[in-house]
């Protein structure tokens, strides 16, 4: 195996290790939410979000506007952010609790798109009931729509996904409850609900953060029966062992990668020296002579002997 192939093999192995670490104890449950009512809510919130643009003389690109919801949705927050597709792909954006990296693509392609943000507040468990679990944070939604016609209603969502780094959802700035591990040893978990109602469980990162690669709805939950406490999450505890496991795996992966790079460089250097030695074997060997106790190369005697001027004197 050559050096390049060896390096790619190690790199792929590291990626697999980190991916396994991130998906530790991940689960998937099918259709545990009332999809029909949740999708109806999405359409209504899209309409309220787009109506916020009509109150502006000009819908500015890159400026978030808050929508107004009716009284029966009291506690729910919605806003809209209009962006150029190319700008989102090359720069990314920070929008409310969502840190969207560069490299996000949408299907079908749209020259302009609108990101609709949802915070369902105390209605989270109403529209996204999750049997056997308790919400520690409100459900936050991020959906994308085509943004050329801001008066359109009942639009279909664009399929957006991160092609490189994941989207980070930070729940630190929203109301959140902590949990003291009960007899069942339950820890907080991130959930991502896709538009079909499938719920995916992943680990909480650094106490209040979740990772995602697609649009949908996100929150933090814990199994029912745990001892909930109405206070901010202590980032140094509760989920500390899980965080340290992730950090340790990442650090270990970095150290392993550095060792691999060092070994590859050493191998390349040895290979280069060996190549030079083989090339030298085909060249003309130098004459060696002893200088004291050390052997050193020396020039051979010249083929034409010098002639003194006195030899030509009359």
Q: For residue 148, what pLDDT band results from cuts at 50, 70 and 90?
A: confident
Tell me the residue range of the domain where 205 lies.
Answer: 31-235
- The answer on pLDDT for 197 being more than 80 is yes
Q: Is residue 5 part of a domain?
A: no
Please indicate whether residue 207 or residue 165 has the higher confidence score (pLDDT).
Answer: 165
Expressed in percent and rounded to 5, the helix, strand and coil fractions of the chain are 35, 30, 40
DSSP state of 118: E
Give the per-residue pLDDT at 29.
44
Q: Is residue 253 part of a domain?
A: no
Q: Is residue 1 part of a domain?
A: no
Please state the pTM of the whole predicted model: 0.63
Give the per-residue pLDDT at 204.
92
C-beta separation of 38 from 288 below 8 A: no
Instruction: Write out the two tokens for 119.
Output: 């915070």
Q: For residue 145, what pLDDT band results from cuts at 50, 70 and 90?
A: very high
C-beta separation of 179 from 222 below 8 A: yes
Instruction: Find out whether the peptide bond into 108 is cis, omega within 30 degrees of 0.
Output: yes
Q: How many domains does the chain have?
A: 1
Q: Is residue 9 part of a domain?
A: no
Q: Is residue 11 part of a domain?
A: no
Q: For residue 185, what pLDDT band results from cuts at 50, 70 and 90?
A: low
* Overall average pLDDT of the 259-278 stretch: 65
Instruction: Write out the two tokens for 95.
Output: 């929008």
| Lowest mean pLDDT across 37-41, 187-191, 213-217, 228-232 | 228-232
Q: Kind of pairing, strands 140-146 and 98-100? A: unpaired
The winner for highest mean pLDDT among 66-80, 219-233, 265-279 is 66-80
Residue 142: which H helix or E strand, with range? strand 140-146
Q: Is residue 15 part of a domain?
A: no
Q: Considering the chain, what percentage of its residues have pLDDT values greater than 90?
A: 40
Give me the CATH number covering residue 221: 2.60.220
């Amino acid at each position: 195996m050559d050096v390049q192939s060896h390096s790619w093999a190690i790199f792929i192995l590291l990626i697999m290790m980190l991916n396994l670490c991130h998906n530790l104890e991940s689960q998937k449950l099918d259709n545990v939410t009332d999809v029909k009512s949740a999708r109806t809510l999405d359409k209504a919130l899209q309409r309220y979000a787009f109506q916020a643009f009509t109150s502006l003389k000009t819908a500015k690109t890159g400026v978030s506007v808050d929508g107004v919801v009716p009284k029966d949705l009291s506690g729910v927050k919605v806003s809209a952010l209009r962006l150029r597709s190319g700008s989102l792909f090359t720069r990314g954006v920070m929008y409310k609790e969502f840190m969207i990296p560069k490299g996000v693509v949408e299907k079908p392609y749209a020259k302009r798109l609108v990101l609709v943000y949802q915070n369902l507040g105390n209605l989270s468990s109403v529209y996204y009931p999750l049997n056997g679990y308790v919400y520690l944070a409100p459900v936050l939604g991020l959906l994308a729509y085509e943004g050329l016609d801001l008066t359109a209603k009942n639009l279909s969502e664009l399929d957006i996904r991160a092609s490189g780094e994941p989207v980070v959802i930070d729940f630190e700035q929203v109301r959140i409850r902590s949990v003291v591990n009960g007899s069942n040893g339950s820890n907080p978990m991130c959930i991502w609900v896709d538009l079909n109602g499938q719920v995916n469980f992943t680990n909480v990162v650094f106490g209040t953060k979740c990772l995602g690669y697609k649009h949908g709805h996100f929150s933090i939950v814990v199994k029912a029966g745990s001892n909930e406490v109405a206070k901010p999450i202590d980032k140094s505890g509760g989920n500390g062992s899980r965080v340290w496991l992730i950090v340790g795996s990442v650090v270990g992966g970095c150290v392993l990668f550095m060792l691999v790079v060092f070994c590859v460089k050493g191998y390349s250097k040895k290979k280069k020296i060996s190549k030079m030695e083989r090339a030298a074997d085909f060249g003309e060997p130098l004459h060696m002579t002893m200088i004291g106790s050390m052997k050193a190369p020396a020039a051979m005697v010249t083929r034409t002997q010098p002639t003194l001027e006195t030899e030509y004197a009359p």
